[in-house]
Amino acid sequence: MMASESQNWVFMVTAQTPTNIAVIKYWGKRDETLILPINDSISVTLDPSHLCTTTTAAVSPAFHQDRMWLNGKEISLSGGRFQSCLREIRARACDVEDETKGIKITKEDWGKLHVHIASYNNFPTAAGLASSAAGFACLAYALGKLMNVKEDESQLSAIARQGSGSACRSLFGGFVKWIMGKEDNGSDSLAVQLTDEKHWDDLVIVIAVVSSRQKETSSTTGMRESVETSLLLQHRAKEIVPKRILQMEEAIKNRDFASFSQLTCADSNQFHAVCLDTCPPIFYMNDTSHRIISIVEKWNRSEEAPQVAYTFDAGPNAVLIARNRNAATSLIQRLLYYFPPNSDDLSSYIIGDKSIAKDAGINGIQDVEALPPPPEIKDNIPSQKYKGDVSYFICTRPGRGPVLLSDSIQALLNDETGLPK
Ligand SMILES: Nc1ncnc2c1ncn2[C@@H]1O[C@H](COP(=O)(O)OP(=O)(O)OP(=O)(O)O)[C@@H](O)[C@H]1O
Ligand SMILES: C[C@@](O)(CCOP(=O)(O)OP(=O)(O)O)CC(=O)O
């Protein structure tokens, strides 16, 4: 049993993990339990200062069961995905010693000890902003640190993968590839970093959170139905994605925005075409999503080279990647021209890195009203505006991978009781 005398110590760690957006999509599993995909995928990690999960994992001999709180509310850990992550991390736990607190936990102790986990997403959960990706990556990372697991980020990614496939790509910053692997046990299905976030730091990312009422088909259900019914998905996974992955790696390595943008848009559009090819068809994008695509396509065509790439996950939100800050300010002007806010409160309409709006000359609602129509529609009939169709915009950029937060102020659990603060 534990070498420590007293039963009332609590040992904890707190980690912060980013979310990610795929530019070559993961859609379809070959193994539902282990979460093994039918193709490789590539993503860009988003700056955790704007979108991230913070998770505190704690252990104490006084805990009677494993418990978890998400955004302040207790949730059940009984689901298979949580159980897989806990089991896999526990199996790799090592000795932990904290001399100052008089704590000694041996490898064997971990099987008998219970954990408390508290997690907080600094953005809406289940709003199509990939909370499950940041969430399961942070769970695996924080538990791994708590239990002194010696595995590296790639090996941890194979555990996060069993929580949610896209989560394995959130163990690294910059551009990340999830290698599908060949093994039946999933041991070689893991994420690797292609380049860190400094490699291509011109890029600016604007997310349009699109107002939507309808409840969408979850990614898990949607991709299962696509695997069962879409012939286009089979063709995509076998013939299209392997070539696209190589081209995308090349584009990222060379910071070739023209290729990057062409591949990103084509892959998003093909993913949504697969959804339409599914029986019954799945509609993730809505009229606003389609309008954003048209606006970007028209603008890109009017320029010598593409300025912005778009990509959409399993929902109507647009993720727009601008080639540089200049392109991002022009993008913000266009977006605000077409989608002015419902209220006069700009500060809650553009969140994240607000300096992009400032650079675009947008300081108040009067500046939005004064925006001229974009030059590419100059000769056309006066364009329509779609006030209120976008809920808000998040301005961000490529960001770093997981980190430990050492300041106990940032912990989500009380260090004496092990309960949420
Ligand atoms: N911080 C977290 N820690 C652990 N699990 C989380 C966390 N945040 C979300 N999850 C898990 O992810 C689930 C939400 O995932 P879901 O796929 O429905 O939404 P999403 O990831 O926000 O959107 P999408 O996958 O469509 O981009 C939650 O019900 C919970 O099980
Ligand atoms: C469209 C996607 O965002 C699908 C993500 O699916 P999830 O990772 O949420 O699915 P599960 O593995 O079943 O949890 C594309 C992507 O992120 O690659």
Q: What is the ipTM of this complex?
A: 0.97
How far, in Å, CA of 365 to CA of 355, rounded?
16
pTM exceeds 0.95 for this model? yes
What integer pLDDT is reported at residue 238 of this predicted model?
98
Question: What is the overall mean pLDDT for the chain?
Answer: 95
What integer pLDDT is reported at residue 3 of this predicted model?
46
CA atoms within 13 A on the CB side of 336: 30
What integer pLDDT is reported at residue 130 of this predicted model?
84
Q: Is 235 helix (H, G, I), strand (E, B) or coil?
A: helix
Contact at 8 Å (CB) between 47 and 207?
Answer: no
Domains of the chain with bracketed CATH: 11-197+405-410 (3.30.230.10), 204-396 (3.30.70.890)
Selection from 14, 153, 149, 151 nearest residue 95 by Cα: 149
How far, in Å, CA of 178 to CA of 40, rounded?
6
132 lines ligand 2 (CB under 6 A): yes
How far, in Å, CA of 319 to CA of 172, rounded?
19
pLDDT tens profile 15-25:
999 999 999 99
370 lines ligand 1 (CB under 6 A): no
Contact at 8 Å (CB) between 82 and 30?
Answer: no
**Reported confidence tier of residue 100, pLDDT bands at 50, 70, 90:** confident
Please identify, by atom number, the ligand 1 atom nearest to the C-alpha of residue 53.
1
41 lines ligand 2 (CB under 6 A): yes
* pLDDT at residue 91 greater than cutoff 70: yes
Token pair listed for 79: 């689901």
25 lines ligand 2 (CB under 6 A): yes
pLDDT tens profile 295-310:
999 999 999 999 999 9
CA of 130 to the centre of ligand 1 (A): 6
Residue given tokens 């000769």 in the structure block: 379
What integer pLDDT is reported at residue 126 of this predicted model?
62
How far, in Å, CA of 40 to CA of 241, rounded?
7
Fill in the amino acid letter for 293.
Answer: I
What integer pLDDT is reported at residue 380 of this predicted model?
64
Lowest-confidence pick of 213-217, 372-376, 403-407, 408-412: 213-217
- Beta-sheet pairing, 204-210 with 390-396: antiparallel
Out of 14, 74, 125, mutate this one to test ligand 1's pocket (max ligand atoms within 8 Å of CB): namely 125
* pLDDT at residue 205 greater than cutoff 80: yes
Q: Which residue is closest in CA terms to ligand 2's atom 9? A: 219
Q: What average pLDDT score do residues 116-141 get?
A: 90
Q: Which helix (H) or strand (E) holds 194?
A: strand 190-195
316 lines ligand 1 (CB under 6 A): no
Question: Using omega within 30 degrees of 0 as the cis cutoff, is the peptide bond preceding 280 cis?
Answer: yes
